[in-house]
């Protein structure tokens, strides 16, 4: 019996947004080992990680260095608001 390739490799996306940008951009994406490396580097640098298989699946279709599509603005805006809230709480406790 042959081993079937793992159809459930982990995926990861890294988004970046800076004031003045028209929209957040995909700055890194990958599957399997590349996804693991993206996650490891995020953790090393204290970047918050949000898990959403559905959102990652949609963002995997966007090319690197491209703005996210307008159809995803709302969900990504909610994610950025969540991150802002977490960072604000963290700053308040320091």
When pLDDT is averaged across residues 68-94 and rounded to a whole number, the result is 86
- Kindly report, residue by residue over 4-48, the tens digit of the pLDDT: 455 567 999 999 988 899 999 999 999 999 999 999 999 999 888
Task: Write out the residue range of the structural domain in which residue 58 sits.
Answer: 11-93
Taking the model in full, what pTM does it have? Answer: 0.77
The answer as to whether 3 is a domain residue is no
The answer as to whether 2 is a domain residue is no
The answer as to whether 79 is a domain residue is yes
The answer as to whether 55 is a domain residue is yes
Which residue in 59, 71, 61 sits closest to 16, CA to CA? 59
The answer as to whether 4 is a domain residue is no
The answer as to whether 24 is a domain residue is yes
Residues 6+ apart with CB under 8 A from 72: 55, 58, 59
């Amino acid at each position: 019996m042959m081993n079937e390739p793992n159809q459930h490799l982990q995926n990861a996306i890294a988004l970046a947004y800076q004031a003045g940008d028209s929209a957040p951009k995909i700055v890194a994406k990958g599957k399997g080992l590349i996804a693991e490396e993206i996650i490891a580097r995020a953790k090393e640098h204290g970047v918050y990680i949000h898990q959403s298989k559905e959102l990652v699946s949609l963002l995997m279709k966007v090319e690197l260095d491209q703005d996210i599509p307008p159809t995803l603005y709302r969900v990504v805006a909610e994610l950025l608001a969540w991150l802002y809230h977490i960072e604000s709480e963290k700053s308040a406790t320091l």
